[in-house]
Chains A and B, each alone.
Chain A
Amino acid sequence: MTDTAASAPAGLEAKFTTCYMCSCRCGIKVTLENGKIRYIQGNPDHPTNKGVICAKGSAGLMKQISPARLTKPLLRKEGTERGAGEWEEITWERAYDILVKRLSKIRSTDPRKLAFFTGRDQMQALTSYFAKQFGTPNFAAHGGFCSVNVATGMIYSIGGTGWEFGGPDWDRTKYLVLFGVAEDHDSNPFKIGIGKLKDRGGKLVVINPVRSGYGAVADEWIPIKPGTDGALIMGMIHVLIANGLYDREFLLTRTNAPQLVVVDQGGEEEGLFWQADGAPDSDLNTNYVWDTVTNTPRPYGAKGVKPALLGAFTAPDGTKVKTSFQLLSERALSDYPLEKVAHITGAPVEKIEKIALEMGVTARDETITLPIEWTDTWGNRHDKVTGAPVAIHGMRGLAAHSNGFQTVRALSALMMILGTIDRPGGFRHKPPFPRPIPPCPKPIDDPELIKPNTALPNPPLGFPTKPENLMVNADGSPVRIDKAFSWEHPLTAHGMIQNVITNAWRGDPYKIDTLMFFMANMAWNSSMNTARVIEMLTDKEADGSYRIPFIVASDAFFSEQAAYSDLVLPDTTYLERYDVISLLDRPISEYTGLVDSIRQPILTPPEGCEPFQETLIKLAGRLGLPGFCGGDGKPLFRDYKDFITNWTMAPDTPIGFLAGWRGKEGRDHIVGEPNPDQWDMYIKNGCFFEFELEESLQYNRNINQGYLNWALDHKFIRRNDPIIMKIYSEVMQRFRLAAQGQRPGRQPATKAQRERLVKYFDPLPFWYPPLEDGAVDRKKYPIHAITQRPMPMYHSWDSQNAWLRQIIGQNFLYINPIKARELELSDMDWVWAESAHGKIRCQIKFSHAVQPDTVWTWNAIGKMAGAWNLDPMADEARKSFLLNHLISEEINDAIVGRVSNSDPITGQAGWYDLRVRIYKAEEEGSWPQFPALKTPPGVAARPERLRYTTRSERS
């Protein structure tokens, strides 16, 4: 690898590091002049962004000079109200004292009373390790309100998912279909890829109620009604199957399409894969196919077998069985006639058929062949790698609905049918994926394991495959504060941050003591039902104490969350600290291999700021947490840098946070002893490490023996069995059987829970209307309301950025004039948007680029007056708005009553299920309004003018 020390013109200094203006984590080159940032550009050698940079990344220098920067630990003054803005500036020492006192008490009594949730951070490896060592199960990152449906929907189907874990083969795809994507995590790679697709003359199809961004350059736009993609995809599957446009070979060799499902008897085995000799159901089973040579069931993958893809058979033991694909075909053909699909989705029959046929024909006829030899897990040698240049990608347009998991299951099935997974031209995994379906870690299934002064045996999150994996008490009640992994939301792989405040406030399932947030703006744009959440944050018991006793926030800026906390820990910015982008977390790998990276401080942080990583390490040390301290209770690590260098998974597993330059000399990769010079070696290499896999290990990884062996050797997986993709999910069926009372072992306690599970845990993908549709009067609230990410803004972070806020200072509610005319509204009218839960006032703007039953706006532009140290009269506070006020975090479900407004399978927040009605408002300005927040101590004054330059002024 070449030494890529940054070059800069004389007199200037340039350094590489990793951007964190968003979660994409591109490599950047920062040029400094006179101690200030002269310029930020993309690092041309960096695998993620190859030299390009986005608007946010470019504006990184404005972040450093933002007057919203917090520079002092702040403690709410004794006797003042939370949110009133009366702060005492304290020292870090005092902050530690307070925290250590409180947390050690919690830890020695009931560790669950610490709830530690993190937002749009990317350091869950460290934060979850902290929680695990602390012993609280109440930890999760932002996934629950983000895109866990996409993550689990795909992980439970194909063994990998999108973003940093996989994505379209940008170098080869010719037909790209995007479902519900505005910007995505992979900001720059996505755009680089779209550029490449266009250069290649490839076709882009965008399925989205809104045409914008990527949709703008789409060759075809399908304005779909929100929440109906599941039906659309099933319709496409219908077309493909009906036209024989499915990849037989692929389905037979990599998916469970030919595997035999028990279909006739009811009872314990019903709907599970048929096993010979009554062998028990297990995640490790190979399962059987119908061999057309011998006309008998034979093990999947057995030599000489010619499996039937379609068909219904009677097994030798008399059991009636059908192939998974037969079941899917029946479902698609009988339940999803195109006229019905068109009615549900609003997409015309011809269009659905056209796109499906185009995908199918392109996949079938434009085979890509690469002269790469590889061996599959059954020992067959292949002299080439083939693929189909059709790639499909779905994001929050699918995820953020309460039917999203099954929709993403359908999407996965569509990809399997087209045979476009981990082959050239289609979807490609990024190591460490694929992983077993689902990956091995399981949540803590025994509440007894949560004990005072004890670390948890494994991390608080995982991937259940059966009811026994749930995190429930003997009576079936949830163990976790967010009710993740409970009967209400069994597959909550990312937790349910969206319910933490409400549950903690209500004391359901129990009361907590300390609520700690890192990098999450839960008091505002990241919560549903924002106004009510603020009330809960400030609500008191009869005795005058707060219902949520103590709230800690780590933030770099004066966010709404900082304002509504008791203790605020001022963090550094990404240019001021050491950081790792670790394989143990969400790495930045490429299709061709592993990548991880670091950040190095480019600037000195303001006096009172401390990197939160540092804070966690120190805190862990002072609390004497195992893993951070030796047997003598003394801290093992000097600081965060030291922790990263020296920490390993286990004494005999020399794997650490960083994969590059391990071993004393720095010659090992991925697995190896700690290397004291590891940081320097990263810095020397432009702050990233890339490990390219041999070509023969780059494709077909679900069944590529070479790859699986390699992955096992490097501990990415615990077994090197083939990762057979699941058109049919027995995991779903296990929960359904339990709910039907057919399965021994854990069963749901209530009838409602049983009914809910039976309804939603379908082993085949299917479409059902989002929960909100059933919970509110659709006639009264006929319009769908959704948000989109603006490309030049990151959630709430960037309104303090002097450049970015000029680009979007006010958000509008975009409405199709066809609908507006029906409602007798004019362009730029102020309107009330009202849902079953609340109402807001906002300004509409006509746009033809939106499906007429849908309105949309940019996400998180609206601010609470005074927050982010903006002028309280700024448009962000007075004209902009949040849709969040309209979305309830709980709904009244027809089956279970009050329940989280989330996907019943994964607990993914159903943001985009929202329905509203819209009517003219007499007054102008956004509503609700909150009293302006007081500017806290330690932040700089807002300058009237800004004239940023690093040059010494011209004479």
Chain B
Amino acid sequence: MAPEFSIIFLTVFAGAGQGLFLCIFAVDLLGAIRGAPLAPETVALAMVMALALMTVGLAASVFHLSHPLRGVKAARRYKSSWLSREALALPPAMGLIALYGAAAWLGYSVDARLAIGAAAAAAALYLYLATGMIYASVPYIKEWNTAYTPLSFTLIGLAVGGTGAVAVLEISGEAALTAVRGVIPLMLAAALVKWWHWRRNARLFTPFTPHAAIGVMRPDARLMDMGTTYQHYNTTEYDARVPAAAVDTARYVAVIALFILPLALLLLDYMPLLRGEGGWLAAPALLLALTGAVAERWLFFVEGNHAQNLYYGSYRGRKGPNPLLESGKAHAPLPPR
């Protein structure tokens, strides 16, 4: 699939915002249980951060729509469309997150705040699910059509957002240690799930074949001409046409910037935090993680291989430029000797 930056930013930033909120809420909740809830200002600041991230995502998503003003109509098909459900879940999630922050700022009781937070958490978690399912529910992109998709969207969102939470806590000089203790395993889990997801995709058996696509019994069907000479929506939207080197680079960036470096930074902060000193590496870690997450999401798109590409000569999760599409026409393989 062609990487669409509007959607990449939407999922990465909104996911990070949700994660930031969820981690803060968890720390707040655990603190409250232990009798030490977060300072209202910290919660409020964190929620501003969370909402800022989500707003960036939302703003990006508007660029994806040709008719954003009709966006409200997107809520109509919630019975069958995950996109509709996402559209439906996003405003309450953001609203509740805002309320949670406001409750803290306005000095509502911790219980009231946490009650709102719990509702917001439910909405945010559902939002993760809805976002992930938009992709996971497309049966024709097998790379996406798996539980790994919502799972990794959620875990990466939590890990990146969690790093943000740590950063906020470090800035406010509060309970960052608890958060770090939570975020490191989240980060590891996200990495592990992503690794499994990649591994799965690398070994993916694809049920869609050229001969089934055109209904012939012989297995050596090949497209000679896609009907018109040049690129059109069904080729530009569905075939990434990126160089293999870019894919490799993206994977390095994703692994290093999303997982390795933030983990290292958080670990570096761990000791000082344990000693009660303030840490300050979570903020750079967040920036790195966001960058890495963008790379990961870009890769996610690029590796999505839609069944319809069979009809345009670019099926097979081909890496790098597609000679067929470059020249506008399909490719015939060599016959067996």
Contacts and interface: CB of A to CB of B under 8 A. Distances in A.
Q: Within 8 Å by CB, do A and B touch in the complex?
A: yes
Nearest to B328: A810
B39 interface: no
A945 interface: no
A817 B335 contact: yes
B335 A806 contact: no
A828 B327 contact: yes
A827 interface: yes
A923 to B, nearest CB: 15
Nearest to A815: B332
B66 interface: no
Given A817-B334, A846-B332, A806 B228 contact: yes
Interface in B213-255: 224, 227-230
Interface string A777-795: 0000000000000000000
Contacts of A848: 332, 335
Contacts of A130: none
B327 A843 contact: yes
A809 B227 CA distance: 11
A809 B332 contact: no
A809 B334 contact: no
A875 interface: yes
Contacts of A807: 227-229
A828 B229 contact: no
B332 A817 contact: yes
B329 interface: yes
B323 interface: yes
B331 interface: yes
A323 B225 CA distance: 53
A210 to B, nearest CB: 12
A807, A808, A818, A828 interface centre (most CB from chain B within 10 Å): A828
Contacts of B331: 827-828, 846
Nearest to B323: A828
Interface in B188-234: 224, 227-230
Contacts of A810: 229, 327-329
Nearest to A861: B229
B229 A847 contact: no
A87 interface: no
Contacts of A667: none
A504 B187 CA distance: 83
B229 A875 contact: yes
A847 B224 contact: yes
Nearest to A809: B229
Given A843-B327, A847-B224, A808 B229 contact: yes
B146 to A, nearest CB: 34
Interface residues of A, number: 17
A843 B329 CA distance: 12
- Mostly, the B contact residues are loop
Interface in A254-288: none
A845 B335 contact: no
B169 to A, nearest CB: 53
A55 to B, nearest CB: 12
A812 interface: yes
Interface residues of B, number: 14
A311 B223 CA distance: 57
Nearest to B227: A807
A951 interface: no
A925 to B, nearest CB: 12
B77 to A, nearest CB: 24
A947 interface: no
Given A828-B323, A828-B327, A845 B229 contact: no
Contacts of A806: 228-230
Contacts of B224: 845, 847
Nearest to B324: A828
Interface in A781-834: 806-810, 812, 817-818, 821, 827-828
Contacts of B323: 827-828
Nearest to B326: A828
A812 B329 contact: yes
A821 B337 CA distance: 10
Interface string B300-337: 00000000000000000000000100011101111100
A821 B334 CA distance: 9
Contact of A818 (B228, B229, B230, B335): B335
Interface string A113-140: 0000000000000000000000000000
B109 to A, nearest CB: 55
B225 to A, nearest CB: 9
Contacts of B335: 817-818, 848
A845 B331 CA distance: 8
B332 A847 contact: yes
A107 to B, nearest CB: 49
Nearest to B224: A847
Contacts of A875: 229
Contacts of B328: 809-810
B31 to A, nearest CB: 58
Contacts of A843: 327
B331 to A, nearest CB: 6
A198 to B, nearest CB: 18
B228, B229, B331 interface centre (most CB from chain A within 10 Å): B229
Nearest to B229: A809
A821 B332 CA distance: 13
B268 to A, nearest CB: 52
A806 B328 CA distance: 11
B229 to A, nearest CB: 4
A809 B230 contact: yes
A905 B227 CA distance: 41
Contacts of A827: 323, 331-334
Nearest to A849: B224
B328 to A, nearest CB: 6
Interface in B266-300: none
Given A828-B323, A828-B327, A845 B332 contact: yes
Nearest to A212: B224
Nearest to B337: A821
A182 B333 CA distance: 25
Contacts of B327: 810, 828, 843
A807 B232 CA distance: 12
A46 to B, nearest CB: 28
B221 to A, nearest CB: 12
A845 B226 CA distance: 14
Contacts of A818: 335
A692 to B, nearest CB: 40
Interface string A415-442: 0000000000000000000000000000
Nearest to A814: B224
Contacts of B329: 810, 812, 845
A456 B228 CA distance: 51
B180 to A, nearest CB: 54
Contacts of A821: 334
Nearest to A818: B335
A656 B334 CA distance: 60
A829 to B, nearest CB: 11
Nearest to B232: A806
Contacts of A828: 323, 327, 331
Contacts of B229: 806-810, 875
Contacts of B332: 817, 827, 845-848
A408 to B, nearest CB: 32
Contacts of A845: 224, 329, 332
A944 to B, nearest CB: 15
A785 to B, nearest CB: 19
A817 B220 CA distance: 15
12 contacts: A807-B229, A808-B229, A809-B229, A817-B335, A821-B334, A827-B334, A828-B323, A828-B331, A843-B327, A845-B224, A845-B329, A846-B331
- Top 9 A-B residue pairs of the complex, sorted by shortest distance between their CB atoms: A809-B229, A846-B332, A806-B228, A817-B334, A817-B335, A828-B327, A828-B323, A827-B331, A807-B228
Given A806-B230, A827-B333, A843-B327, 9 more contacts: A806-B229, A807-B229, A810-B328, A817-B334, A821-B334, A827-B332, A828-B327, A846-B332, A848-B335
